[in-house]
């Protein structure tokens, strides 16, 4: 984020703190698309993603007084959104695999094999088909940049369970993509 963008965000955030609806609308427009995409990847359902997005913005605007500029507004909002999604998924009792990572699985999971050349929408559609636990860990790790320790803390699972979920998500994703390729080539 540029220094000028930071100044703009500061001005808009301070206006939001004073209850300025136009400033709230400005922040919503600036961040809603990216936050919706994250919510959709986590919830795997349009309506739930929209609900989580609205709840996250409502909480953010309500709790704006606690925002201390220790991170960007976007990072702060993302944390709120992820927590909302996780809490909602817990209510739905999303199952996470609780067994530890297999002995023969390398701790440094190689993501180089995930390089994909082609229709990125095809990959996102395949991610949507992953079981909830796999999809959530995959999204948080690969797409949002959290490490396995952080994911473990967020989801209330061990670091090794996060690694297991991620490894299995990669295997399942490759299988889904291979099956899709077979459908189109037959």
Write down the H helix ranges in 70-158: 73-91, 120-128, 132-138, 148-155
Q: Find the CATH number of the domain harbouring 10.
A: 1.10.1740.10
* pLDDT tens digits, 119-178: 778 888 889 899 988 999 999 998 888 999 988 888 888 999 999 999 999 999 999 988
Q: Where does the pLDDT of residue 98 fall: very low under 50, low under 70, confident under 90, or very high at 90 and above? A: very low
Q: How far apart are CA 125 and CA 177, in angstroms?
A: 9
Residue in the block written with tokens 């636990």: 133
Give the H/E segment covering residue 11.
helix 3-17
Of 168, 133, 178, the C-alpha closest to 151 is 133
Boundary residue ending a domain (91, 121, 146): 91
* pLDDT tens digits, 1-45: 556 555 668 899 999 999 999 999 999 999 999 999 999 999 999
- Both 22 and 65 in one domain: the answer is yes
CA angle 45, 51, 56 (to 5 degrees): 120
> Residue 186: what pLDDT?
34
> Residue 184: what pLDDT?
46
Question: Does residue 98 form part of some domain?
Answer: no
Q: Find the CATH number of the domain harbouring 161.
A: 1.10.10.10
Token pair, residue 116, equals 């994909």
Q: Where does the pLDDT of residue 105 fall: very low under 50, low under 70, confident under 90, or very high at 90 and above? A: very low
- Both 7 and 78 in one domain: the answer is yes
| pTM exceeding 0.95 | no
Q: Where does the pLDDT of residue 96 fall: very low under 50, low under 70, confident under 90, or very high at 90 and above? A: low
Q: Is the pLDDT of residue 51 over 50?
A: yes
Residue 117, domain extent: 112-185
For residues 62 and 108, is the Cβ–Cβ distance under 8 A?
Answer: no
- Both 85 and 19 in one domain: the answer is yes
Q: Is the pLDDT of residue 66 over 70?
A: yes
Q: How many domains does the chain have?
A: 2
* Distances in whole angstroms, Cα of residue 70 to Cα of each of 30, 67, 73, 75, 181: 19, 8, 9, 10, 45
> Residue 6: what pLDDT?
59
Question: Does residue 60 form part of some domain?
Answer: yes
> Averaged over 60-70, what is the pLDDT?
91
């Amino acid at each position: 984020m540029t220094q000028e963008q930071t100044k703009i965000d500061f001005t808009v955030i301070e206006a939001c703190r004073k209850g300025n609806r136009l400033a709230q609308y400005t922040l919503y427009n600036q961040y809603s698309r990216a936050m919706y995409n994250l919510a959709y990847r986590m919830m795997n359902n349009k309506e739930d993603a929209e609900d989580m997005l609205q709840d996250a913005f409502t909480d953010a605007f309500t709790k704006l007084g606690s925002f201390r500029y220790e991170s960007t507004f976007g990072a702060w909002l993302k944390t709120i959104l992820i927590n909302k999604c996780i809490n909602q998924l817990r209510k739905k009792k999303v199952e996470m695999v609780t067994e530890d990572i297999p002995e023969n699985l390398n701790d440094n999971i190689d993501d180089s094999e995930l390089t994909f050349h082609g229709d990125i929408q095809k990959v996102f559609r395949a991610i949507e088909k992953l079981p909830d636990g796999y999809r959530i860990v995959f999204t948080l790790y690969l797409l949002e940049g959290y490490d396995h320790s952080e994911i473990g803390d967020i989801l209330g699972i061990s670091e090794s369970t996060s690694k297991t979920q991620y490894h299995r998500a990669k295997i399942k994703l490759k299988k889904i993509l291979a099956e899709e390729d077979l459908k189109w080539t037959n």
